[in-house]
Amino acid sequence: MPAITFYKHEPIPMEMHKVKIVQQLHLLPTAQRLEKMQQAGFNTFQLHNGDIFLDMLTDSGVNAMSDRQQAAMLQADDAYAGSETFFRMQAKLQELFGIENCLPAHQGRACENILATRFVKPGNCVIMNYHFTTAKAHITRLGGRVEELVKKEGLVSHSGLPFKGNIDLDALESCILKETPSNVPFVRLEAGTNLIGGQPISYTNMKAATAICRKYKILTVLDASLLQDNLYFIKTREEGMQGKSVREITRMIADLFDIIYFSARKFGFARGGAILVRDKKLFHSMEDLIPMFEGFLTYGGMSVKEMEAMTVGFEESMDMDVISQGPQFIDYCVKRLDEYGVPVITPGGGLGAHIDVKEFLPHVPQSEYSAGALSCALYICGGIRGMERGTLSEEREPDGTERIASMELLRLAFPRRVFTLSQTEYVIDRVKWLFDHRQLVGGLEFVHEPATLRFFTGVLKPIGDWPEKLAAAYRADFGDEQ
């Protein structure tokens, strides 16, 4: 990765690619954005993409493909069974991870369904450094439960700790002994903990955690969806790793785990997923679930064109010039917001910049879905679609009471190779304006609340008329057409 310096300019992240295809953007006037938010039931998932100026909802399935990925899609073999495309993908994954047995699935949550169906029984406890919404939902729907054992400092929003996704090793062993190993079907470690700011886990921590699991003969599972960001942080932040290649670090990590799964919508820059299973017998015990839920074993519910693109994307993820782009732009955004006094998760992690909403909106209780409200406010004030990662993303307790999230975040995702620095500056500017007018933002309440994964399809309404007052203040500063 070249170190690019400037003669007369402050250091800024450099796009290590050039643009060949563009998609035109439109910025609706403020009044229309308010109307669109009302029509969407104050849920950014329900907005139409054509009404969005900058879409920072997610990095899942919206990353830009390279020219080599686009070219590879032309050679796809769309045979129902025995597709050569699958075997090319399998060979690349075996080369990188050292695991031969591959179960394809259409995306990460499909992999989670297969794993939960195969391993989780009522009363089981699955231990994690931190949960992801769909991973937890698949476990709880089968009567299991999740124990989150991320180290306490991982939940401190503003710090300089390089690996805030690390699992608490003492708590891990204590939990195994308390539950008994037979009641822990697997321990899942997430590379780049999604819900606490995309914070990475160190190789050293993964090695120690998996050693504890081997001691008690418990399966180890790696969610590698955000692996490429985590690889970047291990290489740049972890002592003793600077001299190793990304490819070497990838294999070192893979050698620690029994099962690895991922969403290629993140890792691989395409739309698909896979489960890699080290033990052949274990692999055979799972393979019948793929035709049942996904498709035949050589396409797994995916478009084979996407599988060809994934295969190239896996190789591109071994290139520091490629995987550095997201973390560098996120770090720039986080540092600029921090300089403005905006409460953000530091240090910058992978996936996106994360605003600490408990500090941003201290006057809005989490029970009024403050992160969801802030995501709506940012769309009204700039046409930017972010994603709530807090109490709205949780599910209620069995007795119906609200489960308050340990962190209340607004995520501004940075899809890889999509946004420019000027667009990033626009986001920073609008977030700063909103921070300076934060007292205008109020809470939300449900009109329609689904029982599971409610943040996807729920309908909400504002408590009071704060959206109208916010839009009026924005128009007063920027004019009707902004």
Number of alpha carbons in the 13 Å side-chain half-sphere of residue 12: 12
User: What is the structure's pLDDT at 458?
Assistant: 97
pTM: predicted TM-score of the whole model, two decimal places: 0.95
356 is catalytic: no
pLDDT-derived band at 224 (thresholds 50, 70, 90) equals: very high
Q: What is the pLDDT of residues 108-122, one digit of tens each?
A: 999 999 999 999 999
User: What is the structure's pLDDT at 313?
Assistant: 96
Among the options 53, 119, 132, 332, which is catalytic?
132
- Using DSSP, state whether 426 is helix, strand or coil: helix
Q: How far is CA 310 from CA 79, 248, 302, in A?
A: 17, 20, 11
Residue 448 identity: H
Q: Count CB neighbours of 364 within 10 A.
A: 25
Q: What is the pLDDT of residues 129-147, one digit of tens each?
A: 999 999 999 999 999 999 9
pLDDT-derived band at 1 (thresholds 50, 70, 90) equals: low
User: What is the structure's pLDDT at 47?
Assistant: 98
DSSP string for residues in 304-328: HHHHHHHHHHHHHTT-HHHHTHHHH
Q: Count CB neighbours of 53 within 10 A.
A: 18
Per-residue pLDDT averaged across 357-373, rounded? 98
- Give the DSSP H/E element, type plus range, for residue 254: helix 246-254
223 is catalytic: yes
User: What is the structure's pLDDT at 331?
Assistant: 96
User: What is the structure's pLDDT at 345?
Assistant: 97
User: What is the structure's pLDDT at 11?
Assistant: 86
Among the options 36, 389, 411, 438, which is catalytic?
389
Q: How far is CA 99 from CA 72, 90, 213, 230, in A?
A: 23, 9, 19, 20
pLDDT at 172 over 60: yes
d(CA 223, CA 111) in angstroms, rounded, equals 10
Among the options 97, 283, 455, 474, which is catalytic?
455
pLDDT at 105 over 70: yes
Q: What is the pLDDT of residues 247-259, one digit of tens each?
A: 999 999 999 999 9
pLDDT at 244 over 70: yes
d(CA 284, CA 19) in angstroms, rounded, equals 44
Tell which residue, 237, 240, 230, 229, has the closest CA to residue 160. 237
Q: What is the pLDDT of residues 152-171, one digit of tens each?
A: 999 999 999 999 999 999 99
User: What is the structure's pLDDT at 100?
Assistant: 97
Among the options 36, 188, 266, 278, which is catalytic?
266
Q: State the chain's mean pLDDT as an integer.
A: 96
319 is catalytic: no
pLDDT at 446 over 60: yes
DSSP string for residues in 460-475: EEESSSHHHHHHHHHH
User: What is the structure's pLDDT at 382?
Assistant: 96
Asked whether the beta carbons of 239 and 331 are under 8 A apart, the reply is no
- For 20-24, 52-56, 216-220, which range has the lowest pLDDT when averaged over its residues? 20-24
Tokens standing for 120? 């989780």
User: What is the structure's pLDDT at 5?
Assistant: 85
pLDDT-derived band at 482 (thresholds 50, 70, 90) equals: confident
Among the options 55, 223, 258, 356, which is catalytic?
223
DSSP string for residues in 118-155: HH--TT-EEEESS--HHHHHHHHHTT-EEEE-B-GGGG
Number of alpha carbons in the 13 Å side-chain half-sphere of residue 13: 27
Asked whether the beta carbons of 371 and 391 are under 8 A apart, the reply is yes
User: What is the structure's pLDDT at 162?
Assistant: 97
pLDDT-derived band at 480 (thresholds 50, 70, 90) equals: confident
Q: What is the pLDDT of residues 430-444, one digit of tens each?
A: 999 999 999 999 999
pLDDT-derived band at 2 (thresholds 50, 70, 90) equals: low
φ/ψ region of 364 (left if φ > 0, alpha if ψ in -120 to 50, else beta) reads beta
Asked whether the beta carbons of 456 and 387 are under 8 A apart, the reply is no
User: What is the structure's pLDDT at 32?
Assistant: 97
User: What is the structure's pLDDT at 423?
Assistant: 96
Helix axes 325-339, 421-436, angle to 10 degrees: 30
455 is catalytic: yes
Looking at residue 185, the DSSP 8-state letter turns out to be: -
User: What is the structure's pLDDT at 8?
Assistant: 87
Among the options 67, 68, 78, 80, which is catalytic?
80
The share of the chain scoring above pLDDT 90, in percent, equals 93
Q: Bridge-partner residues for 409, per DSSP?
A: 356, 389
In degrees, to the nearest 5, what angle opens at C-alpha 33 toward C-alphas 386 and 341? Answer: 45
d(CA 356, CA 241) in angstroms, rounded, equals 30
Long-range contacts of 436-439 (CB under 8 A, 24+ apart): 437/381, 437/470, 437/473, 437/474, 438/360, 438/361, 439/363
